[in-house]
Structure 1
């Protein structure tokens, strides 16, 4: 079975599209765990309207944030495989079927796929993220190419996975921790997911993410300043290239 972890916080605008993309999967042996992280809008009501028994809704009593919410869901999961989908993103219909078969064929502990980028309204494809066929620990330090919405983990190989509790880039820190144990992530080059991109400018959000990656280097991976500096410029460059290739722009400050 595949357990799908979907955190949700005030997600009424897009959560139905996300859920529908899961229910449309050609692979049907899954459970969808939706974790409501103290929403104040109609998120819970929208989820409760679904009657499919594979959907399990958890209403959290305190705000746990992205990592804490995912960790709670992972602990409730009963499937061998864990997949992640945020409440504003979507999957293509054969995502689970193709990725599960790919993992079994390659005996992969962690896999990911290419993905398309869609406009905020979901009406247009604005970009595409290509991925390599494999990613090592060193590669991921310099290029955070693995999209959380595309990841599938084989817990029979990794054991219980829990994301570190700090703000930003918790997913990348988690993949790094798995790869640091000697696993190599395997990639499906076919785009099987749709990422909903918000503001397309290179704004403070991008610089905030850079600060989060630095935190991953120093706190999660316990790197010295010198070692972190040997990787950080590569991360910045690769991040900029990915941003531009997915429909982003750069605003020059005069």
Structure 2
């Protein structure tokens, strides 16, 4: 049984997939399994994955295109590691990501941890200031802005259990983290930059206007808040999202 399970959804990711694979293969911590679920890609993503003959890489091919949340859930079902972490097929880890995160969680006795990450263009060159893991996250402050990024976070499934994603929501990661933080008091910040996030133009997470309704449903449908309370937190999320990605504040 590996110590860490890495969860990755893959859909038509051939442009950046090889760089992502290399960032995992070059980790200085080696006791991991990497469960990649291909979500019915129409490009050569599967071929890129298959060419790496490493028994720690487990490829699942989804029977239908079900979205990132569905693909992550298929991987989570197969995961056997104590520590769960996530890496999308276009993101990148520094070689010491796993080692630093696990050491931090063990020394701090943390159930959930997150670190700084660099916010880069498509060529992994810095675009705006690094996102900083600067506060302990809890359920209340995570309602106003999602400080937990999948590529820079890790949780202890032995202590909190596996947390699955709601399917069909474009904000499935925020809902998942909120549900996890209902179980524990807080997640701890590791103030080191250990990952790189590609700020790709047109991505779902970058297009704030188009996902305002989806964010509202996080509170209204998934958290069962009143309409007024849901609107209040949606407004907070929108303002904090502007601050998070605007060069005015970076």
Flag whether TM exceeds 0.5 (same fold). Answer: yes
What's the counterpart of residue 2 of structure 1? Answer: 4
Q: Check conservation: 2:199, 2:206, Cα contact below 8 A.
A: no
Alignment gaps of 5+ in structure 2:
none
In 2, the alpha carbon distance for the partners of 1:105 and 1:206 equals 37
The verdict on how the C-alpha distance between 1:107 and 1:14 changes in structure 2, with shifts beyond 3 A counting, is same
Q: Check conservation: 2:160, 2:183, Cα contact below 8 A.
A: no
CA deviation string 1:210-249 (max 9, x = no partner):
222211111111111122233232212110011114999x
What's the counterpart of residue 219 of structure 1? Answer: 221
Matched, 1:182 2:196: no
Q: Check conservation: 1:111, 1:187, Cα contact below 8 A.
A: yes
CA deviation string 1:162-214 (max 9, x = no partner):
1111221101111101112233111112111100111289x992112322221
What's the counterpart of residue 145 of structure 2? Answer: 143
In 2, the alpha carbon distance for the partners of 1:246 and 1:180 equals 33
> Pairwise CA RMSD of aligned residues?
2.1
Secondary structure of 2:15 counterpart: coil
Secondary structure of 2:236 counterpart: helix
What's the counterpart of residue 251 of structure 1? Answer: none
What's the counterpart of residue 106 of structure 1? Answer: 108
In 1, the alpha carbon distance for the partners of 2:10 and 2:174 equals 19
- Structure 1 segment 42-53 matched on structure 2, within 5 A: 42-53=44-55
In 1, the alpha carbon distance for the partners of 2:137 and 2:60 equals 33
TM-score (norm 2): 0.93
What's the counterpart of residue 125 of structure 1? Answer: 126
Alignment gaps of 5+ in structure 1:
249-254
Q: Check conservation: 1:117, 1:246, Cα contact below 8 A.
A: no
TM-score (norm 1): 0.91
Matched, 1:198 2:200: yes
Moved over 6 A (4+): none
CA deviation string 1:29-52 (max 9, x = no partner):
001111111011110111111012
